[in-house]
Amino acid sequence: AETAMSFMPAELDLDALRAAARCCQACPLHGPATQTVFGQGSPDARLMVIGEQPGDREDIVGQPFVGPAGKLLDEAFRHAGIDRSEIYITNVVKHFKFVETESTGALTGAPHRLHKKPDSREIFACRPWLEAEIAAIRPAAIVCLGATAAQALFGRDFRITRRRGDVIPTEWCMRTLATWHPAAILRMTDEVRREQMLQQLRQDLSTFAIRD
């Protein structure tokens, strides 16, 4: 089977990478998904934010973090004084993974697409794209949202519950931290805990806010 490397362009140029990733078939996720959702933002970005994988909305629009989790994240960026136009935002896995459920949407009549977590093979298959993005941007700081992104950079033993918010050097970037995934905050049913996680997300993001 072809790996992502066989789709990789020779140059580490974001537009070339994005165009090449459109054709990637290195894992089965490209089949049912609408399109590759590549990272978005300035090649000069000093801050890179990494999520897990596109959701239903992202799959349709073709851009990362434009659905409910993205709305919460945008709000947290505003609180932290971070302008989304100045950062680069991407995901560990570039295609939406889902199962179609029996129930259909009340308005569209289309089957509901239930998000599924990417497995280790899919994460491994997609890794060259993430590494190419990091190499092209060479960010001064990286924020990992959730365990999938955190473990992609810090290794499989990393636990967000233990080291959330700590700035830790990695081979990718000297200033890397992991924090809550906005979708995990949305899923939290305990209101007090949810509010605390939201505050922590804002606080962790503000670690890397550019202030003059």
Site string for ligand SF4, 128-147 (x = CB under 6 A): -x------------------
- Of 38, 39, 41, 54, which one interacts with ligand URA (CB under 6 A)? 54
Site string for ligand URA, 91-130 (x = CB under 6 A): x---------------------------------------
Given a contact cutoff of 8 angstroms between Cβ atoms, the answer to whether 156 and 120 are in contact is no
Phi, psi of 115 (to 5 degrees): -55, 135
| Residue 137 contact among ligand URA, ligand SF4, none, beta carbon within 5 to 8 Å by kind | none
- Of 29, 47, 142, 183, which one interacts with ligand URA (CB under 6 A)? 183
- Of 64, 95, 147, 197, which one interacts with ligand SF4 (CB under 6 A)? 95
Helix axes 14-21, 120-137, angle to 10 degrees: 160
Does 93 help bind ligand SF4 (rule: CB under 6 A)?
A: yes
Distance (Å, whole) CA 73 – CA 69:
6
Site string for ligand SF4, 21-40 (x = CB under 6 A): x--xxxx-xx-----x----
Given a contact cutoff of 8 angstroms between Cβ atoms, the answer to whether 142 and 153 are in contact is yes
Helix H, strand E, coil C: the string for 5-47 is: HHHCCCCCCHHHHHHHHCCCCCCHHHCCCCCCCCCEECCCCCE
- Reduced to 3 states (helix: H, G, I; strand: E, B; else coil), residue 199 is helix
Instruction: Give residues in contact with ligand SF4 (CB under 6 A).
Output: 4, 21, 24-27, 29-30, 36, 93-95, 122, 125-126, 129
